[in-house]
Every structure is written in C-alpha cells, then in structure tokens.
Amino acid sequence: MILAALDKTPEEVSDDDFDEILDELKIVPRLLHPTGKFRNIRRFAFVIHPLSQTYIKKGLPVPAATPKFVMNQVERLAAHLPPFVYCKMDNIISPTGAEAEGWLISIGGTPKEMLARSPEFTYRRLLLAAKMAEKKGAQIMGLGAFTKVVGDAGVTVARRATIPVTTGNSYSASGALWAAADAMRRMGLLEIHKNRKVAAKTMVIGASGSIGSVSARLLAMTFDEVYLAGRTLSKLDELKASILQETPNAKVFTTVDYNELLGDMDMIVTSTSGAGKEILDIMRVKPGCVITDVARPLDLPASDVAKRPDVLVIESGEIELPTKVHGMKSIGLPDNVIYACLAETIVLALEGRFEVFTVGRDTEWEKVKEIYKLGLKHGMKLAAISGVNGVFSDEAIAKVVTLAKKARLTWKGGVHAKAAPAKKASVAKPAAKAVSKTVVKTASVATKAAKPAAKAATKKAPAKKTVVSKPAKAPVAPAAPETASA
C-alpha cells in the first residue's frame, strides 16, 4: 500500500519517505500488552545461603539421620557449589501501581565455612550470583544474612558487580527498632517523659557494626541512657563521640564487659557476627526486658531463650508484603513475610532506585528513615513480631509481662542494685569432737567467702571503672530533639 501511494519501487523508497508518512498519519510509538493493561515491572535478585547444617538437610537430599562427621564433609562441599536459583517470586504490586518480581539465588556456604576462608572466596561466589542475576534481567541485587557481613560488608562486591548492590541494612535497622517499639508498647512496662524520651536504659551489642551503629544513633534520641557494647573500646568511643555531636544531650556509655550491666537494661539490641558464639548471659537480663535479635544466625539460640520466659526475645522486625506473592519457597518465615534486608531490595526496585543504597559498616540513619518512608509508600507493613517459637500473640506477651512483674519482686540483678544479705554458709557438724583447728579455720574461710558478691555490689565495683566510660559533658540543649521515626 505504501509503494502504491508513493508510486515508487522498493529501491526508491527512502527513510525520509517513511518519516513523512508517519508524520502525516500522526503515528507515535506505543507499547501493546496482551491484557490491554500496562505493567511496570521492575526486577531484582537477592542472595541467600544456609545458616547451618540443618538448612543444608532441608535443601539437599541428605537423610535426616546422617552422622555428624559426614555432615561436616557435606557442609564443606556445599560451600564450593556454584550459585543456583532457589525460587522466583512475583506478583509484588505496590499501591502506586509499580510491580516487582525477582529471584532468590543461593550460594552454598554456611557462616562457619565463610569465616573459615578468606573474603575473596565468598566474593567470587557473590559475583557469579550477580552475573546470573543480570542474565535473568535483575536490575538490582541484595545481599542476605552473612553475605553482607563478610569482608568489607558489600563494598568490594558492589564495586566489582555490573548491577547495583545493597546489603539491606538500612531497612534491617529500621525494622528492628520498629519491632522493638511495638513490643515495648504492647508490654506496657515503660514510661515516656514529657520531652518524648523513654524513661529507660538500652544497650546495643555489636554497636560498632553497620546495623548496630545506626540503631545506637536512633536510640540515643529516644532513650534516657544508651550503652554501646562490643569488643573494641576504641571503636565504641569513636561512635560515642559521633553520637554526641548529633545528639549533644544524650547520655551515652561504652563497655566491653557488658554482661555486668545486663541487669539494668530495659531493652537490648544484639547485632553481631558471632556465628554461634555466646553473645550474652541471658540469666543476668532484667525481667521484662525486650531483646531484639537482629543477627543472622541468631545471637540467642532457642535453648537460651527458653531459660527466661519473663524476657521477651524477638527476632528483627520482618516485613509483610503488600500483595500475595507467587512462587516463593520457604525462608523460615510465615507466608508473605520476608526479612527486612530482602524488603529493602524490593522497595528500591518498586521505586526504580537501581543504585548502591546501603553498603559498608557505616549505615546512614538518613537512609534508614528514607527506606522506612519508601516502604510505607509501597505498602510494606511490620509483620507480627515473632521469636524462636513463632509469632507472639497478645496472650503470649501478657504472660511474659505477668512473669516479669512477679520476678521483679525478688529481682536483685544489676550492678547498681543492692544485693541481698548473703546467707550464712551451712557447715556440717563434725562426726567427732576431734576436729583440728585447721579444719575449723577452713570452714570459717568458706563461710566468709559467700559474701564477696554482696560486698562487691554495695561498693561501686572500682575494678570496672575503666570498662564503662562516663558520658562526656556536653552543653544541655534548650529543648530535646524530636523523636526520629525508625
């Protein structure tokens, strides 16, 4: 028809002729969809990995009764497996109309195996995962669990990868504090001052880490006292100085001997890379304390949590997706609930922010607030707070409160609490009267030895003075700063 209208042979038709026809007919480029509905789909990928041998048994055809020494070999071999697609998830639709779909890509190394090797070992597998994600069409990739802890916390991977990378730590910090605030509100054991600060003490274990540091900055704005706990006092003091610059009227302490202070804390955030090591002595924790465990693997195993039914131990705030997701396999959470680090990757995809958003160990609290607001924009909600045994119902939380109130009646913990008078040591009567003076002296010494804890508690533990640093004197601000939303 075009040739007939132009009265030219195919060889004579030029590009100018086609342009003239398009202009005359007012034809413009457009997308046609089979359903007739425009779909703005953004694509992402997220890296996961097994947290322990138990997860390997679930993902690989390994008999449940496999001996430990065999599983150790399987765990080592799994670390060398190439990345593979665990599942594809789609039908994630924002109230704005944006839609996302993505792939969970698994590498085989457990935290134990990653720590046993150089960071380059894990970097190589993450970069292979990034190439796989790019071939699938992903426009951004998130790092999950221990993959965002290894080495420089995502900096090297983000620099070498051909698609943007994020660790998800901004939303992880936001979700953790979001969940902690909800848990403390439901517990109802704390008061709020007129200046909007919580009349309580809080501790961040692993404060010099990425999530820990930003959590500490936000908590310093809302709590009476904040204790920064970790292994290196110089790093903690550096963080403290930075916090006091942002919040001059905050009371901030640093400590490396934090078990001695657990009995005074009303809320504790744990965010370490301990990978199975004992992080805190839960038997020293104050009844009614809320512990938010952000670490993956968890810092507090189920066996420890079971020892203290009067303490509320919650996992980091998980996020509920705005629509019913399709195709997603189990990641150890209820249906339609995901980890906050994965939620950050999805939110950035929905927003079209294909950029390196959170990497390294210095998470910016401005980004924490930004990703929180973007999450609300795209329909993300805080999922029901849960612990090692699943979701906490109102009845379960009420039971914790009841046990906590009862335990507090006899609670003598905390370095500042007065210890109860030590009971006299019971010394068995000798079977015969012929007891040497040496034995009597020994019994007397044993009786006196029962009292050092009481004396140490009533004195102010002078040996601990170098462990906990006093808050630096700072000019008192004329008014307390507004509470920042997590």
- Note the helical H segments in 269-358: 302-305, 340-351
Long-range contacts of 259-262 (CB under 8 A, 24+ apart): 259/284, 260/284, 260/415, 260/461, 260/464, 260/467, 261/203, 261/227, 261/229, 261/414, 261/415, 261/468, 262/203, 262/286, 262/413
pLDDT digits (tens, 9 = 90+) for 103-133: 999 999 999 999 899 999 999 999 999 999 9
| Rounded CA separation 460/28 (Å) | 81
Could you give phi then psi for residue 387, rounded to 5 degrees? Answer: -130, -160
Buried b (16+ CB within 10 A) or exposed e, 14-45: eeeeeeeeeeeeeeeeeeeeeeeeeeeebbbb
Q: State the pLDDT at residue 65.
A: 87
| pTM higher than 0.75 | no
Of residues 450 and 369, the one with the higher pLDDT is: 369
pLDDT digits (tens, 9 = 90+) for 396-451: 999 999 999 999 999 877 543 443 444 444 444 444 343 344 433 444 444 444 44
DSSP 261: G
Of residues 21 and 39, the one with the higher pLDDT is: 21
- Among 21-30, 153-162, 438-447, the minimum mean pLDDT is found in 438-447
Of residues 292 and 210, the one with the higher pLDDT is: 292
Q: Under a CB-based contact definition with an 8 Å cutoff, are residues 48 and 129 in contact?
A: no
Cα→Cα distances 414→201, 287, 452, 476, Å: 12, 11, 16, 28
Calculate mean pLDDT across residues 336-356. Answer: 95
Of residues 420 and 306, the one with the higher pLDDT is: 306
Count of residues in the chain: 486
Q: State the pLDDT at residue 110.
A: 93
Domains in the chain, CATH or no CATH each: 1-30 (no CATH), 41-171+320-383 (no CATH), 173-318+387-406 (3.40.50.720)
3-state secondary structure 208-255: CCHHHHHHHHHHHHHEEEEEEECCCHHHHHHHHHHHHHHCCCCEEEEE
Calculate mean pLDDT across residues 6-15. Answer: 81
Q: State the pLDDT at residue 84.
A: 95
Q: State the pLDDT at residue 391.
A: 82
Long-range contacts of 190-196 (CB under 8 A, 24+ apart): 190/266, 193/224, 195/479, 195/480, 196/222, 196/480, 196/482, 196/483
pLDDT digits (tens, 9 = 90+) for 268-298: 999 887 666 788 999 999 999 999 988 877 7
Q: Nearest Cα to 52, choosing from 68, 34, 36?
A: 68
Number of neighbouring beta carbons within 10 Å of residue 98: 18
Q: State the pLDDT at residue 30.
A: 64
* Portion of the chain with pLDDT greater than 90, in percent: 52
Banded pLDDT at 11 (limits 50, 70, 90): confident
Strand partners, 313: 291
Q: State the pLDDT at residue 16.
A: 83
What sign results for the dihedral spanned by CA atoms 208, 213, 219, 224?
positive
Task: Give residue 162's Cα distance to chain centre.
Answer: 26
pLDDT digits (tens, 9 = 90+) for 42-87: 999 999 999 889 888 887 888 888 999 999 999 999 999 999 999 9
Could you give phi then psi for residue 272, rounded to 5 degrees? Answer: -115, 175
Q: State the pLDDT at residue 429.
A: 41
Q: State the pLDDT at residue 7.
A: 78
- Residue 228, pLDDT > 90, answer yes
Q: State the pLDDT at residue 37.
A: 66
| Rounded CA separation 42/417 (Å) | 56
